[in-house]
Amino acid sequence: MFDRGAIINFRNVGRHAIDSVLRLGYAARFFALTLAHSGTSFRRPRLIVRELYFTGVLSMIIILVSGLFVGMVLGFQGYQTLKTYGSESALGILVALSLVRELGPVVSALLFASRAGSAMTAEIGLMKATEQLSAMEMMAVDPIARVVAPRFWAGVISMPLLAAMFSAMGVYGGYLIGVVVIGVDEGSFWSQMQSAVDFREDIVNGVIKSIVFGIAVTWIALFEGYDAPPTAEGVSGATTRTVVTSSLAILGLDFILTAFMFRGI
């Protein structure tokens, strides 16, 4: 009734579906284990501080520079559009709201995924491939408590801070172009920004977004590393998957969060 090729294709679709659900289940279990074994990290905060340096502090350069450039581009493009309606003085609002609500959390999370997320995956994957995780397990030390959990919390803590730095740098970039280069009135740039940006609606929502992105990116990166086949190809494949999956997750989650947060506006 069906030809062989069709049956094989159908079977492959089924296998992929089952594999995906299985992996999602593993990932969920891994997430739960990470949370359950976080006690050590909080009893020994030095473990988290060390990871904060590697994930957070070392990501600052790329975040700050990108923020500045994105802000400067916003300054140019915003001015061009607003000028048409004679409302150049609203440039400050445009720059600040775009950054605080969307670009800050989203772009910094994308950069964080490719800078820190990929490094986390590669590091943990290599620790697994060189039997360091097995050695730890053999020494009666839980690798999830000792290696995974501190990195997770470091990622969750540094993400909103990096997003805030990105936005601050972006606002400064917009100011440089809008006020210093193009010559928009400095007073109206800042005062309109101050009156239009709402703490609860804009800033808190942006922070919530970046915390959610931080959880998603770090979780994906750590799981991919922990689950990577212990070979060179395995680790490189896992690193690629971290960047692809977490970028898609960021954009998808951003849509969902935006739909909930700003639908009434």
Partner 1 sequence: MVVSAVAADNLVEISGVSYAYDKRHPVLTGIDMVIPRGKVVAIMGISGSGKTTLLRLIAGWFKPTQGTIRVDAQLTHELDREELYRMRRRMGMLFQFGALFTDLSVFDNVAFQMREHTDLPEAMIRDIVMMKLHAVGLRGAHGLMPSELSGGMARRVALARATALDPMLIMYDEPFTGLDPISLGVIRNLVRKLNDALGSTSIVVTHDVQEALDIVDYVYYLSEGVMMAHGTPEQMRASTDPLVHQFVWGEADGPVAFQYPSRNFSEELGLV
Tell me whether residue 122 or residue 161 sits nearer to partner 1 (CB atom): 122
Tell me whether residue 1 or residue 138 sits nearer to partner 1 (CB atom): 138
Among 79, 90, 144, 146, which residue interacts with partner 1 (rule: CB under 8 A)? Answer: 146
Tell me whether residue 102 or residue 137 sits nearer to partner 1 (CB atom): 137
Check if the beta carbon of residue 190 is closer than 8 Å to that of residue 92: yes
Measured on CA atoms in the order 204, 210, 216, 219, is the torsion positive or negative?
Answer: negative
Q: Which stretch binds partner 1 (CB under 8 A): 15-23, 126-134, 173-181, 203-211?
A: 126-134
151 touching partner 1, by CB under 8 A:
no
138 touching partner 1, by CB under 8 A:
yes
Q: Which residue has the tokens 């062989």?
A: 4
Check if the beta carbon of residue 72 is closer than 8 Å to that of residue 177: yes
Measured on CA atoms in the order 210, 44, 30, 238, is the torsion positive or negative?
Answer: positive
Q: Which stretch binds partner 1 (CB under 8 A): 13-21, 90-98, 127-135, 193-201?
A: 127-135
Among 9, 20, 134, 195, which residue interacts with partner 1 (rule: CB under 8 A)? Answer: 134
Round to whole Å and give the CA distance between 208 and 152.
17
Distance in Å, CB of 180 to partner 1, minimum: 44
CB atoms within 10 A of CB 37: 17
Cα 50 to Cα 47, 57, 238, 239, distances in angstroms = 5, 10, 24, 22
Distance in Å, CB of 133 to partner 1, minimum: 9
Q: Which stretch binds partner 1 (CB under 8 A): 138-146, 157-165, 182-190, 230-238?
A: 138-146
Q: Which residue has the tokens 């990932």?
A: 27
Among 19, 131, 186, 198, which residue interacts with partner 1 (rule: CB under 8 A)? Answer: 131
Tell me whether residue 129 or residue 203 sits nearer to partner 1 (CB atom): 129
Check if the beta carbon of residue 27 is closer than 8 Å to that of residue 223: yes
- The residues in 170-229 that bind partner 1, with binding defined as CB under 8 A, are none
Nearest of 161, 79, 151 to residue 116 by alpha carbon: 151
Check if the beta carbon of residue 163 is closer than 8 Å to that of residue 105: yes
Tell me whether residue 138 or residue 259 sits nearer to partner 1 (CB atom): 138
Among 47, 52, 96, 127, which residue interacts with partner 1 (rule: CB under 8 A)? Answer: 127
Chain residues in the site for partner 1 (CB under 8 A): 126-127, 130-132, 134-141, 146
